[in-house]
Amino acid sequence: MTDTVIRALDESDAHLFDAHPDPLNARAAHERTTHHPHWKRVALRDGNVVARGAWWGGPDDEQPVNLNWFDVAEGEVEAGAELLRSAPWQVELELNLPGDWREHPDLAAAAETRFAAARAAGYELLVERFLYRWTPERGLPERPGRLLFTPEADDAVFFDALRRIHAATLDAHTLKAIEEGGLDRAAQEELDFFHWCPSPREWWQLAHTPEGELAGIHIPAHNPSGPTIGFIGVLPEHRGRGYAYDLLAECTHFLVEHGAEAVTGATDRGNFPMAANFTRAGFPVVRERINFHPAAEAVS
């Protein structure tokens, strides 16, 4: 077998990225995603593309924040691993898969090839997530009317609420942030992300009970791909009353009232309560996302 050649691409040879089969229909997952040509890399054998990766970041980012398109040909696990190992950016890997990939042997085999390459390159599984997309034909979720929603200009209020919410969380990314830097780091990472989003800061809202107690927060947002349920969080002392659904319904209405024609959302596969709320609110699962992170990052 001839040696693998790893190539970074630019605008002149970006077409090489498309010279590879797409059995998992990644192109559909990224129809609203913009990838910089110079953040794309391919592995070649005998002139044929046997693995490819597209790293992604926002329009103003100088470095990619993740790798969200990664394909490996059958039998080319090592080429895929070398593509990852040799990259100048060791960031989180997101594999976006069809929602029914487990039910089809060909799709499952294609996914497992990518998993194997990631593990061979030193990446570890972080979490499996459901990706949702609400569209108008689903109908807007009913607003229960149990909470009062207001904007809040002080980031410190949201920081405090996030610390309290994250003190008892099921979210794998948040748990990782807490393990690495405590509740303050986890809360600050959330704030930093939503400041990074192109949606207005004025959209962030608190939710109070009629008695005036802070019950939770919701953050309607736009990420670079469009309107999304940015954050839903209920304070621990108010859990068990179904308020997460109230927040999700309000967040959806808010985005639609501000022009959204579709709304995305996501939750960890193991977060059964939130997954049930998305289903109740009319959000079908459209894809699944498998997140890996570099093992060196996990111990740094």
pLDDT of 52-99, one tens digit each?
A: 999 999 888 999 999 999 999 999 999 999 999 999 999 999 999 999
Lateral strand order in the sheet of 205-208:
5-8, 40-45, 48-56, 66-72, 92-98, 285-294, 123-134, 263-268, 226-234, 214-223, 205-208, 148-151
* 24-44 CB burial, b ≥16 within 10 A, e <16: bebeebbeebebbeebbbbbb
Residues 6+ apart with CB under 8 A from 41: 6, 7, 8, 9, 52, 53, 55, 83, 87
Residue 224: per-residue pLDDT: 82
Give pLDDT < 50 ranges for the chain. 298-300
Residues of the chain above pLDDT 70, percent? 98
What pTM did the predictor assign? Answer: 0.92
The pLDDT value given to residue 300: 38
pLDDT of residue 1: 64
What interhelical angle do 105-120 and 77-85 show, nearest 10? 40
